[in-house]
Amino acid sequence: MATMADLTQSQWSEQLANDDNAIILDVRTQLEVEEGYIPNMKHLDIFNAGTFMDEAKQMDVSKNYYIYCRSGGRSGQACAILNSLGFKNTYNLIGGFSEWDGETTI
For residue 67, pLDDT beyond 90: yes
Q: What is the pTM of this model?
A: 0.96
Chain segment 92-101, per-residue pLDDT in tens: 999 999 999 9
Mean pLDDT over each residue of the chain, to the nearest integer: 96
Cα 20 to chain center, whole Å? 16
- Kindly tell me the burial class for residue 69, based on how many C-beta atoms sit within 10 Å of its own C-beta (0-12, 13-18, 19 or more): buried
In order, the DSSP letters of 39-91 are: TTEEE--TTSHHHHHHHHTTS-TTSEEEEE-SSSHHHHHHHHHHHHTT-SEEE
- Give the pLDDT score at 2: 74
Q: Residue 78 contacts by C-beta under 8 Å, 6 or more apart in sequence?
A: 25, 27, 44, 46, 52, 67, 69, 90, 92
Distances (CA, A) of 44 to 14, 19, 50: 23, 21, 11
Single-letter residue type at 51: T
What CATH fold (topology level) applies to the domain 3-99? Oxidized Rhodanese; domain 1 (3.40.250)
